[in-house]
Chains A and B, each alone.
Chain A
Amino acid sequence: MTHPPPRRTRTLAVSALARVEGEGALTIRTRRGRVVGAELRIYEAPRLFEALLRGRDAADAPDVTARICGICPVAYQMSAVAAVEQAFGVFVAPAAAMLRRLLYCGEWIASHALHVHFLHAPDFLGHDGALAMAQASPELAAVVRRGLRLKQAGSAIMTLVGGRDVHPVSPCVGGFHAVPRVAAVRALRDPLRRALDDAVATVAWAAGLDIPDVAVAHEWMALRHPDEYPICSGRLATTGGLDAPVEAFLDHVEEVQVPWSTALHARRRGRDVVHATGPLARWNLNAAVATPRAREAAAAAHLPVPCTNPALGIVVRAVEMVVALEEAVRLVETWEPPLAPAVGWTPRAGVGHAVTEAPRGLLYHRYVIDDVGRIVEARIVPPTSQNQEAIEADLRQAAAGFVALPQDEAVLAAEKVIRHWDPCISCATHFLRLRVEEAR
């Protein structure tokens, strides 16, 4: 096969960047045919949210920030309530903390079920989406059905605990506005046990896909917890040896503007490494405290620790669904209601920080609050802004293999690299414009 001679600038046709939330435009720069740069342009809205939070009641932060994302609203609510509670010196009842972990498990399950089965799997199977998979064979239709069942299991938790499955309404500073009845919580046990079996089957199935053998050299950053797979609490850790309280997040991560993107890039402060957050990072730092069936399923699937192949994210997400479902089963079996849905609090001036683990990774919130409980300053660092540099590094690494390909194939190859990361970029349109520029 021969390729046309390289032109100074080659613009590849616009194709829908399917199965990624948002708009992306990618420019790859080459010099004498060698890849010298990759710039991914994406939009994110949190900066506007930070501005509109100023002057508002801190107790509104969970509900306002939940609107940043329709896929991971619980993550925003949980980071926001935890940060505001820290500023006010509020300690929630253990029963409320358990319920928050359960709610968050629901979001992990629903989000991962969707990405694994609907957004990521088609890339390994040569289909352009879940509909094509469902039409391809009875076996693949069964896989799509399993994805829907798992998504439904996660949504059921969010509906019961959160009041509704999209943008839950029940969490608040101090606990919950209302908690579900014990009988309703217990009734989730059997459907969640069935979903757990589905998740275990998903791990084995995902591990059997034709997954490319790639290794990246990122520093993985996640919460680390000595006793449990971290979701709402833990210390900030990296595979490079960082171990710090979450309050020190901004000492270790800084946000910088890059000319090609409206989204800030978050990078390690004072260190020349690309850090990455998300399921691989959590797994690499917490595999030892994963739940028993998750560890068993991961071992049977030969999932390495550490895992440095972003394409294996599909297996790690499946393992994390097992973690979340085992945890959810445990929580619905043992939860007892608190004396009151929320503990009382009074506002006071202060600063609160929190990090929780959103499905896509580490989500940092920081609020400066005045003495009547109004937000003076808000800072939100979402996982996708932290992962942009890792995605670009992976694109540079992979681009040598696809820049010379015909446009459709090059766009698809680039999209696959991006989709391994499940980036969530809330935006109105969905295009990847791939532009290959040959430098003079």
Chain B
Amino acid sequence: MSTPGAIVIVGCGGAAGDDAAGLAVIARLRAEGGLPPGVRLHAVTSGEQLLDLLDDAAALIVVDAVASGAPPGTLHRLRWPSARLDGLRPGSTHQLGPAAALALADALGMLPPEVVALGVELDRATPAAGLGEAVAGALPALADAVRAEARRLAHATTGA
């Protein structure tokens, strides 16, 4: 059962090269911890799965690989709603991308008041390849950014 008022952290990704960054950061956070209490960690491969995880969420952090043209390994932070997330195209039509899932959740009133997207600029999403050097090198910093965001949100949502 979910914890009321939880901070939900969702890593999105697939098995193709740097696209696995969102999944890798969740694995890292599971192994290393360092998160405030009451945090739920999830790894998903499609946007609809994200929609199943929002019950009782007080805040949501979405972590994914980003292709914006910045140097590989660059960290990104966006707060929902953001025009930069609006325009993203889904990767598949039978599955929603994370941005489309957020838009739908927003329209349905399912989003918590605080939604933050954290990302790392990808280099190559090569099928069956592991994470590239730039993204693998940025993972510790990305995990730290997620921890810092979670602490900030824990502070904000509990009013402590």
Q: A-side interface residues toward B, CB under 8 Å?
A: 17-22, 70-71, 114, 119, 130-131, 134-135, 141, 144-145, 148, 151-152, 155, 165-166, 424, 430
Q: Does B158 contact A (CB under 8 A)?
A: no
Decide yes or no whether B49 CB sits under 8 A from chain A: yes
A21-B92, A145-B108 are known; give 7 further A-B pairs, CB within 8 A: A17-B93, A20-B93, A119-B94, A134-B107, A151-B48, A166-B49, A430-B93
Report 10 cross-chain contacts, Cβ distance below 8 Å, ordered by A residue: A119-B94, A134-B107, A134-B108, A141-B107, A144-B104, A148-B48, A148-B52, A151-B52, A165-B49, A424-B94
Q: Nearest chain-A residue to B109 (Cβ)?
A: A141
Contact B94 A114 (CB under 8 A): yes
Task: Produce 1/0 per residue, B74-103, CB < 8 A to A.
Answer: 000000000000000000111100001001
A388 to B4, CA, bound (A): 49
Q: How far is the CA of A131 from the CA of B107 in the complex (A)?
A: 7
Point out which of B45, B49, B93 has the most chain A C-beta atoms below 10 A from its C-beta.
B93
Are A131 and B49 in touch, CB under 8 angstroms? no
B interface residue count range (under 10 / 10 to 19 / 20 to 34 / 35 or more): 10 to 19
Query: Which of A20, A119, A134 lies in contact with B104, CB distance below 8 A?
Result: A134
Which residues from A are CB-within-8-Å of B134?
A: none
Contact of B95 among A70, A131, A141 (CB under 8 A): A70
Residues of B within 8 A of A119 (CB): 93-94
Q: Does B136 contact A (CB under 8 A)?
A: no
CA distance A288 to B129 in the complex (A): 50
A152 contacts which chain B residues (CB < 8 A)?
51-52
One digit per residue, 1 when the CB lies within 8 angstroms of any chain A CB and 0 when it does not, for chain B 104-122 equals 1001110000000000000
A114-B48, A155-B49, A166-B46 known; A131-B94 Cβ under 8 A: no
- In the bound assembly, the distance between CA atoms of A135 and B107 in angstroms comes to 6
Chain B residues with CB under 8 Å of A144's CB are 104, 107-108
Complex Cα gap A148–B94 (Å): 14
CA distance A152 to B49 in the complex (A): 8
A430 CA to B90 CA in the complex, in Å? Answer: 10
A18 and B94 form a contact (CB under 8 A): no
- Bound Cα distance from A344 to B124, whole angstroms: 43
Question: Which residues of A have CB within 8 Å of B108?
Answer: 134, 141, 144-145, 148
Contact B93 A19 (CB under 8 A): yes
Contacts of A131 in B (CB 8 A): 100, 103-104, 107
Q: Cα distance A336–B35 when bound, in Å?
A: 40
Residues of A within 8 A of B48 (CB): 114, 148, 151
Can you name the residue of chain B whose Cβ is closest to the Cβ of A20? B93
Cα A17 to Cα B94 with chains together (Å): 12
Closest-CB distance, B43 to chain A (whole angstroms): 10
Q: How far is the CA of A134 from the CA of B100 in the complex (A)?
A: 12
CB-defined contacts of A145 to chain B, threshold 8 Å: 108
Q: Please indicate the chain B residues that have their CB under 8 angstroms from the CB of A22 in the complex.
A: 93
Chain B hits for A18, CB < 8 A = 93
Task: Give the chain A neighbours of B52 by CB distance below 8 A.
Answer: 148, 151-152, 155
When C-beta atoms are compared, the residue in chain B nearest to A141 turns out to be B108
A165 to B45, CA, bound (A): 10
How far, in Å, is A266 (CB) from chain B's closest CB? Answer: 22
Q: How far is the CB of B56 from chain A (nearest CB, A)?
A: 14
Complex alpha-carbon distance, A155 and B48, angstroms: 10
B45 touches A166 (CB 8 A): yes
Task: Kindly report which residue of chain B lies nearest to residue A16, judged by CB atoms.
Answer: B93
Across the two chains, which residue of chain B brings its CB closest to A72? B94
A422: min CB distance to chain B, Å = 9
**Could you tell me the distance between the alpha carbons of A114 and B92 in the complex, rounded to whole angstroms?**
13
B47 shortest CB reach to chain A, Å: 11
CB closest chain-B residue, reference A114: B94
Closest to B52 in A: A152
Chain B residues with CB under 8 A of A155: 49, 52
Task: Please give me the residue from chain A that is nearest to B55 by CB atom.
Answer: A152
A17 to B93: give the CA distance in the assembly, Å.
9
Which residue on chain B has the smallest CB distance to residue A155?
A: B52
Which of B48, B51, B92, B109 has the largest number of chain A CB atoms within 10 A? B48
Q: How far is the CA of A135 from the CA of B109 in the complex (A)?
A: 10
CA–CA, A58 and B48, complex, Å: 33
Residues of A within 8 A of B92 (CB): 21, 70, 430
Closest to A167 in B: B45
- Which of B45, B93, B94, B107 has the most CB atoms of chain A within a 10 A radius of its CB? B94
